[in-house]
Amino acid sequence: SAVISQKPSRDICQRGTSLTIQCQVDSQVTMMFWYRQQPGQSLTLIATANQGSEATYESGFVIDKFPISRPNLTFSTLTVSNMSPEDSSIYLCSVPSGKTRYEQYFGPGTRLTVT
């Protein structure tokens, strides 16, 4: 199974600022996914990041608010821009397991609190 690390593990930020979350995988993967897990809510897919192309965003999420970089096959970043308290959430990256198209391995998450 893939080992995924995320930095930071948690942060407290002031509204109006931006935070960049890093996701590192111990093997090369074509696809990486970014999710948001709000308190009491489902995991919601923000975007799919493929190396060498622009990220594909889900409905309700835009690049200006959540810019994503994917410089190589083992690394990605998600930036939460111009934060508001509503952005307080856990942000998770994941990668396909490689065994099937739909099973995923998840990172430990980044717990963000915006004050």
Interface positions with another protein (CB under 8 A) = 4, 9, 31, 33, 40-45, 48, 92, 94, 96-97, 100-109, 111
Residue (74 or 104) nearer to another protein, CB: 104
Q: Quote the least distance from Cβ 38 to another protein, whole Å.
A: 10
Minimum gap (Å) between residue 45 Cβ and another protein: 6
Q: State the nearest-atom distance from the C-beta of 101 to another protein, in Å.
A: 5
Residue 17 to residue 45: CA distance in whole angstroms: 23
- Taking every pair of Cα atoms in the chain, the longest distance, rounded to a whole number of angstroms, is 41
Cβ proximity to another protein: between 81 and 96 the closer is: 96
Cβ nearer to another protein, comparing 29 with 83: 29
Residue 100: partners with Cβ closer than 8 Å, 6 or more residues away: none
Minimal distance, residue 41 CB to another protein, in Å: 6
- Terminal-to-terminal C-alpha distance of the chain: 36
Instruction: Encode 4-40 in three state secondary structure.
Output: EEEECCEEEECCCCCEEEEEEECCCCCEEEEEEECCC
